[in-house]
Amino acid sequence: IDGDTLAVTVDCGGGVYVLQNLRLRGINALEVDTPKGKQAKYFVERNLQDTRTVVIRTFSTDVHGRYVADLLYARGIEDPLIIQKEGKYLNQELLDAGHAYLL
């Protein structure tokens, strides 16, 4: 959706899948209608490109009903346990690349 909000399909098990919007915890990226906001969105799209499985740690919901979450991923790896141990932390990557700031 933008640099700090993602639409994901969550596998709830038993063949149940839910489309859910996530708000990345602890960070803020500029709005997508600004140049820096577009860069943040592109950064997320590029980093998650060809990634089929991510690990989501949720903490609460925000005022818009989105889950506030940390997101871990590892290209080419679909095992959640390996992603949890060895994956990249998207929230921190956005900060480190200068595409977001701490809330």
- The pLDDT score that the predictor gives to residue 8 is 97
Instruction: Please give the Cα distance from 53 to 84 (Å, whole number).
Output: 11
Q: What is the pLDDT of residue 90?
A: 98
User: Are 14 and 78 contacting, i.e. CB atoms less than 8 angstroms apart?
Assistant: no
Asked whether the whole model's pTM tops 0.85, one would answer: yes
Q: What pLDDT is stored for residue 55 in this prediction?
A: 97
- Taking 70 as the pLDDT cut, the residues of the chain under it are none
**C-alpha pair distances (Å), 91 with each of 3, 35, 37, 99:** 10, 20, 15, 10
The pLDDT of residue 79 is 97
Determine the pLDDT at residue 91: 98
Rg (CA), the chain: 13
Question: What's the pLDDT at 37?
Answer: 98
